[in-house]
Structure 1
Amino acid sequence: MTEGNLELSIVGIGDARRLRVSAPSAAALADFEGTAAESATGSVLDGPLSAANAVAVRTHVPSLRPQPIGLRTSAGVGDRLGLAAPGQVRAFQKFGAGIVPIFAQQSAREMDRLGRMPQQVLDDATFGCLQAGWDGPVGADADHLKSTAEIDRCLDAGFTLFTLDPGEFVRHIEGTVTAQQLEDVPWGDLEDDLESMTRRYADFTMEVGDGILRLSEVDVFQAAAKYGAAVAYTVSMYRHLMERATYPVEVEVSVDETDDVTTLAEHVYMATELKRLGVEWVSFAPRYVGSFEKGVDYIGDKQVLYTSLANHTHIARAFGPYKISLHSGSDKFSIYEGAAQATGRLVHLKTSGTNYLVAVDVASRFDQELFRNIYAVSRDAYRGTRASYQVSARLDRTPEPHEVPDERLHDLVTAFDSRQILHVGYGAVLRTEDGQGASPLAASLRELLAAHNDAYESELEAHIGRHLTTFSEKS
């Protein structure tokens, strides 16, 4: 990639990759670390894929600096290994016209389980984009943040999209809201009271789709009891973020990882209260009807989902506009066309673990022993890891590793139960039991992916491309 008077490239494969920078003089290489040598046309630096060099790359290649994306159609693709960006770039280049990519996307939960720092996530994406020649805009998503400490870590690294997740403060309301539940709403934090809120929503109506949405007093009380504390916590995180940010950032609000569906009335309540309290956000992830489980297709009535998405989009346009965010969006191939139509492409698609499954699939084809070990560790860890994710896989519906012949191992990557087990078992596979470093399995998997780099990148291109093509601009 040529930028100004510099020629930047990545040489080598996998963990043996290095940064190479050519310049007309040694002085032009001052921002980079490594070994410089004179050449016939100037100086050439060979350096590590270090944090300092990532900063230097982003300094000299402005397009690789993460930026707010705004209302443009976008997709986040995650990367648990830090090796997927080149294949992901190929997918966006071929299938993602009009979609702004977020290559640096990882939740605080995943970073903690993998022992990855936010800076490492961002830097891996930077070097991967440079390697594959990406020259378009990019974002960087600090996903599912639940605390101000997590916000600070990702701000320091340079992330630009902050997905605030107040899901732990969403209350389950059984039946009619009680007086005690209304009293428990944190009115002080909301700068509100029951009487003022009731007046604010009196006779509220709005057009939604082909009908009229009317909020009764029961609807409003239900929404406040269920989401009041979540709104208050979101506001506190948002204000902290805005006080600390020294560069442009944007916000997504996510309540998708909760048990109860977000009704249209509850969406209106959250949007109204967040706006009243000064929050500006670019995308919203409600808890949808049906089930967006990890690694598998949508479970539920698709027509009901499309109607719901269209109605949520009407609310998002009225109160924002802001995008509807599809979390756990990977592998939901049967609903992409309907979702794109329902949202009018005012949408953000989030995928993550499916990229890791591509790497695991490469192992199933090229190193059966390694794959069996990955599968065995994932099965052993499943009872503990499943608690953090929306999954319904059952161990008793999956075979033992030794029961599957080599030629059928690929089927374990695609079958519902074993695919989910592999999907959520990444932490046990990639980290040592004490969590203090990468596991031998992680090292073996990385070596395998380097040895079969072409197959890995091609499979990523095809698989992520299937996610993008329906949401892309049509010529």
Structure 2
Amino acid sequence: MKKRLASARLNLLTHSLVITDQAEYGLVATSQGLRLAVWMPADAKAIRKFRGETSEFEGGTLLIGELSHANAVSLRSRLEWLCPALLGLKTSAGLGDRIGVATPGHVRSVRDMNGSIAPIFAQQSIREMQRTGRSPQQVLDDATWGIFEEGWQTGTGADADHLKTNQDIDACFEAGFSFFTFDPGEYVDATAQQAHKKTLEEKLNGIPEYLQPCATGLVGTSLEVEGHHIHLSKEAVVRAAVKYGRAIDHVVDMYEHLKYVAGYLPFEVEVSMDETVSPTTPAEHVYIASELKRMGVRWVSFAPRFVGQFEKGVEYIGDLLAFRADIAVHAAIARRFGPYKLSLHSGSDKFSLYPLFVEATRGLAHLKTAGTSYLEALRTIAAIAPVFFKEIYAFAREHFEADRLSYHLSAELRRAPMPADIKDAGILFEQFDARQVLHVTFGSVLTEKNDDGSPRFYDRLMEILRQNREAYFDNLERHFRRHLEPFRYIE
């Protein structure tokens, strides 16, 4: 088979080359950056779907085009494996990318797992998109180009993460996402577990009639779930209804809206209840799962609020024995009422938990990461341009107190090293407080402007990563192998 794009005249990225239906597709390195190369026979009309400069080449037509949205759409229409697909109950991992250039490193780490992990390469929350100034379409297209570059043809999902409104659904569905994470956290009443009975009765008035405790069929019931006894007293169901009833109502509304928007097109749903103050009890998990099923909601994964603290970019904070006991009963409930996967949110860098999580879920598991790839980008920059990195770190310290407000963090700015005291910038990535300072200030760093309106950090940050792509990808591959290895060995 002739490989025309492999010509010495073109600097082809070899893994990207695809030959199908007498056409060739690939990425080539040019002085202006990466470009899409398409070769087709001279009489092929399909090349008109792509945008770029054309020329005669090797007896046909060669097109060189930018990595644009239009070209991403055309490429997905020709190469089905680039389109987001459903992952079902496979052991899976979401690898979020806040800056849009990490996917090749993510692909390499997943490829190292030899098919044991189903990946989601396009994943970003609405909050992260707002903070970085990216659109759902940009997130999906950036992942498409990274997947194409590495020649990953085994399939991928696309997670529209932490959606809060129907408008969020519309934007992400139109972009082409296949996996929708509903986050009704704003409707969870965190006071329900400690409220007096009179207060609970008053709060019940705000719960839709169809979700009132008497409608659930759960009051006074008991379940034996793989050796775990769960009793749903009237008080337990009332407290669960007050805490989660309005959240379930919101999930039902979002689900019905997504069904309407999607029409005949398939999709997957994750329900996230993790961003709450108090852990999800076994009785509450049963209530949530039972009520969602009763309302006709179908979901592939669920993120409860586990015991302990799941903070951004650092190890699990809590008692591992308590987590083992907690995950065991939640996994049993998920098998009983589904089966569906349990999802570990803020899951990056929680290395002590992964074996326990995999063991309890028996592979019905989804790992969700995002900010740790941004930290690996900064690690790469720190090694190559330490002075520039220190500027970023100093700026991050200035904005940390404001940016931390939307997160639960234990970091203290006073404990993070001062910029002037740093001799080896690499130590910041091993220091708890500094990691969180860098982690949560991503939006401020990426969008900060100079007085003339030009980006203060973004352009140079991206240029360093583009000029040192392999160093960044190597860091990502090394880092994510540590995350994914524990998920490989499922008995």
What TM-score do you get using the length of structure 1 for normalisation?
0.95
Deviation at 1:6, TM superposition (A): 2.3
Contact 1:290 1:301 in 2 (8 A): yes
What is aligned with 1:195? 214
Deviation at 1:15, TM superposition (A): 7.6
Question: For residues 13 and 358 of structure 1, do their structure 2 counterparts lie closer, same or farther at Cα, with a shift above 3 Å needed?
Answer: farther
Counterpart Cα distance in 1 of 2:32 and 2:441:
23
What is aligned with 1:106? 124
Secondary structure (helix, strand or coil) at the match of 2:352 reads helix
Alignment counterpart, residue 141 of structure 1, candidates 156, 159, 168: 159
Greater CA drift, 14-23 or 356-365 = 14-23
Is 2:265 aligned against 1:231?
A: no
What is aligned with 1:10? 27
Question: For residues 261 and 114 of structure 1, do their structure 2 counterparts lie closer, same or farther at Cα, with a shift above 3 Å needed?
Answer: same
Question: For residues 131 and 75 of structure 1, do their structure 2 counterparts lie closer, same or farther at Cα, with a shift above 3 Å needed?
Answer: same
Contact 2:164 2:182 in 1 (8 A): yes
What is aligned with 1:55? 73
What is aligned with 2:433? 417
Q: Deviations over 1:20-44 (max 9, x none)?
A: 1122234231221111211124221
Unpaired segments ≥5 residues, structure 1: none
The amino acid that maps onto 1:74 is S
Q: Deviations over 1:248-277 (max 9, x none)?
A: 111100011111100000000011111111
Q: Deviations over 1:286-331 (max 9, x none)?
A: 1110011110111111121122112111111111111000000000
Greater CA drift, 445-454 or 184-193 = 184-193
Deviation at 1:374, TM superposition (A): 1.2
Is 2:237 aligned against 1:220?
A: yes
Is 2:115 aligned against 1:115?
A: no
The amino acid that maps onto 1:55 is V
The amino acid that maps onto 2:93 is A
Greater CA drift, 294-303 or 184-193 = 184-193
**1:218-367 pair list within 5 angstroms:** 218-246=235-263, 247-367=265-385
Is 2:54 aligned against 1:36?
A: yes
Greater CA drift, 336-345 or 17-26 = 17-26
Q: Deviations over 1:95-115 (max 9, x none)?
A: 353211111000000001111
Counterpart Cα distance in 2 of 1:221 and 1:436:
57
What is aligned with 1:69? 87
Deviation at 1:209, TM superposition (A): 3.7
Contact 1:254 1:285 in 2 (8 A): yes
Question: For residues 188 and 399 of structure 1, do their structure 2 counterparts lie closer, same or farther at Cα, with a shift above 3 Å needed?
Answer: closer
Q: CA RMSD in A?
A: 2.0
Contact 1:429 1:441 in 2 (8 A): yes
Question: For residues 436 and 468 of structure 1, do their structure 2 counterparts lie closer, same or farther at Cα, with a shift above 3 Å needed?
Answer: farther
Contact 2:162 2:272 in 1 (8 A): yes
Deviation at 1:437, TM superposition (A): 8.1
Percent identical:
46
Deviation at 1:240, TM superposition (A): 1.0
Question: For residues 145 and 367 of structure 1, do their structure 2 counterparts lie closer, same or farther at Cα, with a shift above 3 Å needed?
Answer: same
Counterpart Cα distance in 2 of 1:65 and 1:77:
16
Counterpart Cα distance in 2 of 1:49 and 1:295:
31
Contact 2:123 2:159 in 1 (8 A): yes
Give the aligned length: 471
Contact 1:166 1:233 in 2 (8 A): yes
Question: For residues 175 and 325 of structure 1, do their structure 2 counterparts lie closer, same or farther at Cα, with a shift above 3 Å needed?
Answer: same
Contact 2:189 2:242 in 1 (8 A): yes
What is aligned with 2:469? 453
Deviation at 1:186, TM superposition (A): 6.1
Q: Return the structure number with greater relative CO, CA threshold 8 A, min gap 6.
A: 1
Counterpart Cα distance in 2 of 1:310 and 1:14:
54
Deviation at 1:148, TM superposition (A): 0.9
Secondary structure (helix, strand or coil) at the match of 1:191 reads helix
The amino acid that maps onto 1:58 is R
The amino acid that maps onto 2:257 is H
Question: For residues 294 and 248 of structure 1, do their structure 2 counterparts lie closer, same or farther at Cα, with a shift above 3 Å needed?
Answer: same
**1:363-382 pair list within 5 angstroms:** 363-382=381-400
Deviation at 1:389, TM superposition (A): 1.8
Greater CA drift, 6-15 or 241-250 = 6-15
Greater CA drift, 68-77 or 27-36 = 27-36
Question: For residues 315 and 376 of structure 1, do their structure 2 counterparts lie closer, same or farther at Cα, with a shift above 3 Å needed?
Answer: same
Is 2:490 aligned against 1:471?
A: no
Counterpart Cα distance in 1 of 2:486 and 2:115:
10
The amino acid that maps onto 2:198 is A
The amino acid that maps onto 1:464 is F
Question: For residues 49 and 178 of structure 1, do their structure 2 counterparts lie closer, same or farther at Cα, with a shift above 3 Å needed?
Answer: same
Unpaired segments ≥5 residues, structure 2: 1-17
Counterpart Cα distance in 1 of 2:25 and 2:247:
46
Counterpart Cα distance in 2 of 1:474 and 1:345:
6
Deviation at 1:174, TM superposition (A): 4.9
**1:379-394 pair list within 5 angstroms:** 379-394=397-412
What is aligned with 1:210? 227
Deviation at 1:192, TM superposition (A): 4.0
Q: Deviations over 1:212-260 (max 9, x none)?
A: 2111112111111111111111111111111111421111000111111
Contact 1:449 1:456 in 2 (8 A): yes
Deviation at 1:13, TM superposition (A): 7.8
Secondary structure (helix, strand or coil) at the match of 1:30 reads helix
Question: For residues 295 and 436 of structure 1, do their structure 2 counterparts lie closer, same or farther at Cα, with a shift above 3 Å needed?
Answer: farther
Question: For residues 268 and 191 of structure 1, do their structure 2 counterparts lie closer, same or farther at Cα, with a shift above 3 Å needed?
Answer: same
Counterpart Cα distance in 2 of 1:143 and 1:300:
26
What TM-score do you get using the length of structure 2 for normalisation?
0.92
Counterpart Cα distance in 2 of 1:430 and 1:149:
25
Secondary structure (helix, strand or coil) at the match of 2:27 reads strand
Counterpart Cα distance in 2 of 1:233 and 1:272:
16
